[in-house]
Structure 1
Amino acid sequence: MWQRIQTLYLAISTLLIASLLMCNVAATIGPGGTEEHIKYYENIVYLIFIVMIISGNGFTLFSYKSRMIQMRLSILEAILMTAFQIWIGVDFIRLRNENELIFSFTAIFPIIAAILNVMAARNIALDEAMVQSAYRLRKSKKK
Structure 2
Amino acid sequence: MIQRIQTVYLLAIVVLMIATLFLPLTILQAGDSMCSFDASGISTMLTDQPELLYPTWSLFALTAAIAIISLVTIFLYRKRILQIRLCIFNAILMLGFYGLYAFYVWNVSKDLGDVSITGKIALTFPFISLILDYLAIRNIGADEALVRSLDRLR
Preserved contact between residue 88 and residue 107 of structure 1 (Cα < 8 Å):
no
Match of 2:51 in 1: none
Q: 1:27·1:101 contact (CA, 8 Å) conserved in 2?
A: yes
Deviation of 1:93 (Å): 5.1
* Matched ranges for 1:1-143 at <5 A: 1-29=1-29, 32=32, 35-42=34-41, 43-92=56-105, 95=108, 98-137=114-153, 139=154
Task: Say which SS state the counterpart of residue 98 (structure 1) adopts.
Answer: coil
Query: Which shows bigger deviation, 39-48 or 73-82?
Result: 39-48
- What value does the CA root-mean-square deviation take over the aligned residues? 2.0
| In structure 2, C-alpha distance between the alignment counterparts of 1:3 and 1:24, rounded to whole Å | 33
| Residues paired across the two proteins, number | 137
Kindly state the Cα deviation for residue 117 of structure 1 after the two structures are TM-superposed. 0.9
3-state SS of 2:124 partner: helix
State the 4+ residue runs in structure 1 displaced beyond 6 angstroms: none
Q: Give the match's secondary structure for 1:65.
A: coil
TM-score by length of structure 1 reads 0.83
Give the structure-2-normalised TM-score: 0.78
CA shift digits 1:3-43 (9 cap, x unpaired):
111111111111111101220021133554x6432221221
8 Å contact kept, 1:57–1:74: yes
Q: Which has the higher helix share?
A: 1
Identity percentage over the alignment?
29
Unaligned runs of 5+ in 2: 42-55
> 5+ residue gaps in structure 1?
none
Greater share of strand: 2
